[in-house]
């Protein structure tokens, strides 16, 4: 190790290094708090001054994430200092970048990352460490991070150390996963690897693997592509069961008894900010480099088609019941249960498509007040009143305990369809309560009602708005 890295390593081991985290969102805030809790003085920077004011008052938008509030209360003003003033980052020993790298209209928006990178390089001390946690498309550590370092006239391994350490924490379990999950560090040289390892070892209990930045970039995207492809397989089986008149729940249960089969849960769609973009990052870059990974692309399209397919099914049901618009109540708007996050939620596409088809859409969610352009109701009873169709679109715990008789009494005139988009409810109980019950992967009850053949995935995809 050279003299600069030895000095920084010692500071890291003694918790004497000054650490800054750029981006105080889903990943940056928990990360900053865990580092502060392990003894570092941590500056948590965000461009959003409103967010910083909230944090400075001890308030967090991650209230549902176990441990975040407690860590904030314990470390605020002691080891954790939120700020929106970039000058407070000056002379940091370590800067970690945790800003979004979103997809926008078919391209990867790295502008926030670039801005954060420039800020890091102008604030970090000579001989300091810059770590990128934001998800990167392959090759961007080399093409963007290293080239920016060169533009700043800095020399890797002397003036600065750098690594890519992609975040991998699941919303709903952020603190637990940041602490327990294994980490992959993609470092440019041995010193950067050692320093990054020493930094993460301060709070990570899982294994820490060191590799090169390109491998780390691919690993992060492969993990989420793997999950997306596997969910797409479950969704494809659900569609197969629908046309064959079978029940995917039973098919899955029995298939999963096989020692080498582990089918995921089909559902009304795949949402969240990670699975909806990471597979596309891998697809776009690999395609540019000469190989288009079609399986990954097709899986994305299958998952994206799900809410449109069910909007079509619901529309068919309503049209068989009455002429004109129907009342459709959507229960649950978040991309998954018990997490107050509606980013890329399939419920959003379902709502918008039903509105486009001319229906009156009413929505209710116990933990968010998003509406996606529909009528929002704070009270569950109001949201389901007079419904021709009730849809379960998120797997909130509250919905598992729904009083189906009460729900039926509140909904509209017979027939009322209860559509279970997350396979939460018991079919027999729903039918005994007076509903026509159908779910993802089981639409046998609608066979005589829905006469027309439903669109194929390909047809739906070509009609999905950009
Ligand atoms: N879903 C299904 N069926 C399933 C599992 C999930 O339809 O069997 C749906 C969910 O309802 C949701 C979507 O998929 O709409 C994504 O949910 P998720 O729980 O699978 O994943 P995320 O997006 O919350 O977090 C993922 C995780 N990645 C993997 O499991 C490989 C998490 O570990 C990552 O840290 C996170 O992405 C990230 O930040 O990249």
Residue 336, token pair as written in the block:
């998954």
Query: Residues 385-428: pLDDT tens digits?
Result: 999 999 999 999 999 999 999 999 999 999 999 999 999 999 99
Cα-to-centroid distance, 228 and ligand 1 (Å): 8
Cα-to-centroid distance, 273 and ligand 1 (Å): 9
Atom of ligand 1 nearest to the CA of 269: 7
Q: Rounded distance, CA 220 to CA 208, Å?
A: 14
pLDDT at 463 over 70: no
Query: Residues 292-313: pLDDT tens digits?
Result: 999 999 999 999 999 999 999 9
What's the confidence (pLDDT) of residue 199? 98
Query: Active site includes 173?
Result: no
How would residue 106 be classed by pLDDT, with cut points 50, 70 and 90? confident
**What is the average per-residue pLDDT within 269-284?**
96
pTM: 0.95
pLDDT at 452 over 70: no
**What is the average pLDDT value for the chain, to the nearest integer?**
95
Burial (0-12, 13-18, 19+ Cβ within 10 Å), 96: buried
Candidates 348, 352, 337, 326; CA nearest to 411 is 326
Which is catalytic among the residues 41, 125, 274, 321?
Answer: 274
pLDDT above 70 as % of the chain:
98
Atom of ligand 1 nearest to the CA of 181: 33
Candidates 243, 150, 240; CA nearest to 188 is 150
pLDDT at 252 over 80: yes
What's the confidence (pLDDT) of residue 364? 98
Residue 83's DSSP bridge partners are 45
Tokens 């109980």 locate to 429
Which is catalytic among the residues 9, 41, 125, 220?
Answer: 220
Long-range contacts of 457-461 (CB under 8 A, 24+ apart): 457/239, 457/301, 457/302, 457/305, 457/309, 460/305, 460/308, 460/309, 460/312, 461/301, 461/304, 461/305
């Amino acid at each position: 190790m050279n003299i600069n890295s030895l000095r920084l390593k010692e500071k890291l081991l003694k918790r004497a290094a000054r650490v800054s985290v750029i981006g105080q969102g889903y990943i940056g805030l928990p990360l900053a708090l865990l580092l502060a809790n392990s003894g570092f003085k941590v500056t948590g920077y965000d461009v959003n001054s409103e967010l910083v004011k909230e944090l400075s008052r001890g308030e967090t938008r991650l209230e549902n994430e176990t441990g975040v509030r407690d860590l904030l209360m314990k470390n605020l003003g002691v080891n954790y200092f939120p700020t929106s003033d970039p000058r407070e980052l000056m002379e940091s020993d370590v800067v970690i970048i945790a800003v979004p790298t979103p997809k926008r209209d078919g391209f990867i928006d790295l502008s926030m990352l670039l801005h954060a990178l420039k800020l890091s390089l102008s604030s970090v001390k000579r001989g300091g460490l810059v770590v990128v946690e934001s998800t990167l498309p392959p090759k961007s550590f080399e093409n963007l991070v290293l080239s920016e370092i060169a533009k700043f006239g800095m020399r890797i391994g002397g003036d600065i150390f750098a690594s890519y350490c992609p975040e991998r924490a699941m919303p709903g379990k952020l603190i637990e996963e940041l602490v327990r999950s294994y980490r992959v560090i993609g470092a440019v040289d041995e010193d950067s690897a050692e320093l990054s390892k020493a930094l993460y070892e301060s709070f990570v209990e899982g294994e820490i693997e060191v590799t090169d930045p390109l491998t780390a970039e691919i690993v992060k995207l492969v993990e989420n592509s793997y999950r997306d492809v596997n969910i797409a397989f479950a969704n494809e089986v659900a569609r197969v069961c629908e046309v064959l008149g079978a029940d995917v729940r039973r098919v899955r249960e029995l298939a999963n008894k096989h020692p080498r089969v582990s089918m995921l849960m089909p559902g009304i769609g795949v949402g969240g900010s990670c699975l909806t973009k990471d597979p596309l990052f891998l697809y776009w870059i690999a395609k540019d480099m000469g190989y288009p990974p079609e399986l990954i692309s097709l899986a994305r399209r299958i998952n994206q088609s799900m809410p449109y397919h069910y909007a079509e099914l619901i529309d068919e049901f309503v049209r068989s019941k009455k002429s004109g618009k129907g009342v459709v109540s959507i229960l649950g708007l978040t991309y998954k249960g018990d997490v107050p996050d509606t980013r890329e939620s399939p419920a959003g596409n379902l709502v918008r498509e039903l509105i486009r088809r001319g229906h009156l859409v009413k929505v209710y969610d116990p933990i968010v007040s998003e509406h996606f352009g529909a009528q929002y109701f704070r009270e569950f009873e109001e949201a389901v009143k007079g419904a021709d169709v009730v849809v379960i679109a998120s797997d909130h715990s509250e919905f598992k305990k729904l009083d189906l008789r009460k729900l039926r009494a509140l909904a509209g005139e017979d027939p009322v369809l209860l559509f279970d988009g997350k396979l939460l409810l018991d079919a027999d109980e729903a039918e005994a309560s007076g509903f026509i019950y159908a779910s993802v992967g089981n639409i046998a009850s609608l066979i005589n009602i829905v006469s027309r053949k439903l669109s194929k995935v390909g047809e739906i995809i070509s009609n999905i708005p950009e």
